[in-house]
Structure 1
C-alpha cells in the first residue's frame, strides 16, 4: 500500500509533470500556424478541419525537434526535472545507412512530450477542478462533454479526495512514461555510443601513457638521487668539489622530475600543461650527465642522425633508454654501462648493456621494485610495432635491445 502511493508523494513526480506542462505550453505558439490550412479551406467539415490542424501541428512540432540545439536543451531539462542520467550528445560521424537518426528520435520525443503534456494537463486539471467543485453543495456539479456529475451529502468530500488522488496518479503516470522513454529517445544512439567508447579508449590510452611517463621519470630520478646522495656522503670530506657536483646533480634531477610531474598532473586535470614538454632524444645528453654525477661510467655509442627522429618515436626512445639505464643503476654490479643508439632511415635501434652479479654498487636487493618496468617497456615497444628483447648476455652481462620502425611510427 505504502509502496503504491509513494510515487504520489515524490517530488520528482511533480517536477516531471512540470516538465510535461512546459512541453505543452511551448507548443502553443505553433498552433496558429497549424490552423492556417484549415482556415484556407472554409468549406471543409469541422471534423476534417480538426484532424488537419492536429496533423499540421504534429508536423511543425516534429520539425522543431530536428534542431541540434533543441535536443541539447531537452536533454538538459530532462536531466534536471525528470532526474534521468542522460549523457551530453557527442559528435559522431553519420553513417550512410542511418543518417539523421538522432534528429528523428528527438522529433518523436518532442511529439510524445507535447502529447503527454496536454493529456496530463487536461486530465489532472479536470480532476482537480472536480475535486474543488463537488464539495460545494447539492447544487454543485461538474459537466463535461454533455455529461454531468453531481454528488450530494457526505460522499462529496470522499469523491473530491478521490479526484485529487486520481489527478496525482495522472501526474505519476505521465512522469513515468516520459522517464522510461527518455533513455530510448534522448539517450545516446549506436553511433554516439561508439563515439563515447572511442573517447573512453583514447582517455584510457592517454592515462596509461601518463602512468608510464611517471613510472619512468620518477623511478629514474629516485634511483639516481639515491645513488648521488650516497656518493656525496662518501666524498663529502675527502672531495668537497665532487660532493657539490653530486648535490647539484640531485637538484637538477629533482627539478626535472617536478617538471614532468607538473606536466602529467596538468594533463590529468585537463588543463594546459605548458610547464614542461615531454622528454625526447634531444634530452639524452643531460640524462647521461646525471648518470655520470651518480658515479656511473657511461659509454655511449651514437650513430646515424638521432636529431632527425621526432615526435612519438623520439619521446618513446628517450623513455626506453631512461628505463634501461635506471635498471642498470638499480640492478647492475658496477662497471661501464654501454648505451647504443643507431638511427637509420627505416629503423631505430637502441640497446643498454651492463654487468650483473654481486657488486659494490646498487645491487638488486638495494632497490626493491614493482617489476613492471620491463613489462611497461615491452608494451610501449609493441604499440610502436617494434621488437623487444631483454635478458642475460653471457655469464656477467644483461642486455636490453629494442628495434623501432621509423616509418610506421611517424
Structure 2
C-alpha cells in the first residue's frame, strides 16, 4: 500500500507533470495556423473539420520537431524535469541519420503534446472536483457536469470521500503521465544507432589522444628527470674543480626543465579540455638540441644522420623524435658508460632509427639515474605498432644493447 502511494509523494512526479504541461502550452501558438484550412473548407461537416484541424496541428508540431534546436531544448528540459540521463546530441559532420532516426524527435514532441493535454484535462477536472465537492458538507447535494455528462453527489461525509478520491486520482494521473514520458525519453530523445556510433568513435579518439599524451609525458618527463639528475650529480662533482663545467651542467638542467614544463603545460591543457598556450612540436629537426643536452649530462653521443630528414611528415617526425628520446633515456639509465651511437636514416622505403649503448654484466645504472618503471619498452612497442612499423630491442653482442626501429615513410610534398 505504502509502496504504491510513494510515487504520489515524490516531487519528481509533479516536475514531470510540469514538463508535460509545458508541452501542451507550447503547442498553442500553432493552433491558429491549424485553423487556416477551415477558411477554404467551411462547408465540410463539423466532425471532419475537427479531424482536419487536429491533423494539421499534429503536422505542424512534427515540423517543429525537425529542428535541431528543438531536440537540444527537449533533451535539456527532460534531463532537468524528468531526471532522465540523456547525452547531448552529437553534431554530425554529415547528415548520416536514417529516416526513422530523423522522425524520432517529431514523434516524441507529438506524444509529449498529447500526453500533456490529456494529463492536463484529466488531472484538472479531478483536481477541480476534489476542491468543489467538500462544499456539500452542509448537507446540500452537488451535481458535476462535463461535456454533457453529469453526476450527482450527495452531501455529507460521502462528498469528502469522493473529493479525496478525486485528488488521489489526479496525483495518480500525474504519476502515469510522468512515467510514460520517462519511458519514452530514452527511446526517442536518446542517441540513435548512428549517434551511438559517433559517440563511440569520439570516445575512441579521446582515449587514443589521452594514450598518446601519456606516452608523450612519459618520454618527455622521464628523459628530463634522468638527464637533469645526472647533470646535477656531475655539477656537484666538478663544482670546485671546474666551475665552468658545473655552470654548463646547471644551464642544461634549466633548459631541460623548461622544455619539460612546456610539454606538461600542453598535456594538462588537453586533459582539462582547455586550449594550451604552447603545443610542443619537437621533430627530427630538434635532435641536435637533444644531443647537446645529453652531452651536458656527461654522455658521449655519436650521431649518424642521413637521408632527407626534413621531408619526413610532421606526425612521423614527432614520433621518431620521441622514440629516440626514450631510447637515449634508457641508455642513460642502464648503460655502462662509453659512447652512445644514434643512427637516423631516411630512405624511400622507410625511416630507420637505432640507439646502441654499452652494457656490462653486473653493471648498475649511471650515478644519479632513476630506476626503470618498466613501461618504456612496452610503450615504445605500442607506439611503433600504431605507426605500422617494426621494432627490435635486445643485446647486440656481449657488451652492447641495441634498439632498432623501422617506420614506413610518406614523403611530404
Could you say if the C-alpha distance between residues 29 and 366 of structure 1 is closer, same or farther in structure 2, counting changes exceeding 3 Å?
Answer: closer
Bigger mean CA offset, 146-155 vs 264-273 = 146-155
Identify the match of residue 326 of structure 1 among 303, 324, 329.
329
Task: State the SS of the aligned residue for 2:344.
Answer: strand
The 5-angstrom pairing of residues 107-126 of structure 1 reads 107-126=106-125
Residue in 2 that maps onto 1:277:
280
Task: State the SS of the aligned residue for 2:131.
Answer: helix
Q: Distance in 2 between matches of 1:101 and 1:215?
A: 47
Residue in 1 that maps onto 2:386:
383
Map Cα deviations across residues 89-109 of structure 1 (whole Å, 9 max, x no partner).
Answer: 1123444xx634333001100
Could you say if the C-alpha distance between residues 150 and 409 of structure 1 is closer, same or farther in structure 2, counting changes exceeding 3 Å?
Answer: farther
Residue in 2 that maps onto 1:316:
319
Could you say if the C-alpha distance between residues 409 and 114 of structure 1 is closer, same or farther in structure 2, counting changes exceeding 3 Å?
Answer: farther
Q: Distance in 2 between matches of 1:135 and 1:409?
A: 86
2:301, 2:340 within 8 Å by CA — same for their partners in 1?
A: yes
1:260, 1:278 within 8 Å by CA — same for their partners in 2?
A: no
Task: State the SS of the aligned residue for 1:274.
Answer: coil
Identify the match of residue 250 of structure 1 among 242, 250, 253.
253
Map Cα deviations across residues 321-359 of structure 1 (whole Å, 9 max, x no partner).
Answer: 000000000000011000001112331110000011257
Q: Distance in 2 between matches of 1:404 and 1:25?
A: 64
Task: State the SS of the aligned residue for 1:395.
Answer: coil
Are 1:52 and 2:52 matched, yes or no?
Answer: yes
Ranges in structure 2 where 5+ consecutive residues have no aligned partner: none
2:313, 2:412 within 8 Å by CA — same for their partners in 1?
A: no
Bigger mean CA offset, 340-349 vs 357-366 = 357-366
Query: Please, what TM-score do these two structures have when normalized by structure 2?
Result: 0.95
The 5-angstrom pairing of residues 8-407 of structure 1 reads 8-92=8-92, 93-95=94-96, 99-137=98-136, 138-151=140-153, 152-358=155-361, 362-363=365-366, 367-407=370-410
Bigger mean CA offset, 371-380 vs 149-158 = 149-158
Task: State the SS of the aligned residue for 1:407.
Answer: coil
Query: Please, what TM-score do these two structures have when normalized by structure 1?
Result: 0.95
Q: Distance in 2 between matches of 1:161 and 1:351?
A: 86
Q: Distance in 2 between matches of 1:366 and 1:216?
A: 15
Q: Distance in 1 between matches of 2:244 and 2:228?
A: 17
Ranges in structure 1 where 5+ consecutive residues have no aligned partner: none
Task: State the SS of the aligned residue for 2:391.
Answer: strand
2:230, 2:369 within 8 Å by CA — same for their partners in 1?
A: no
1:333, 1:359 within 8 Å by CA — same for their partners in 2?
A: no
Q: Distance in 2 between matches of 1:171 and 1:210?
A: 51
2:336, 2:359 within 8 Å by CA — same for their partners in 1?
A: yes
Task: State the SS of the aligned residue for 2:281.
Answer: coil
Q: Distance in 2 between matches of 1:131 and 1:364?
A: 88
- Residue 288 of structure 1 deviates from its aligned partner by 0.5
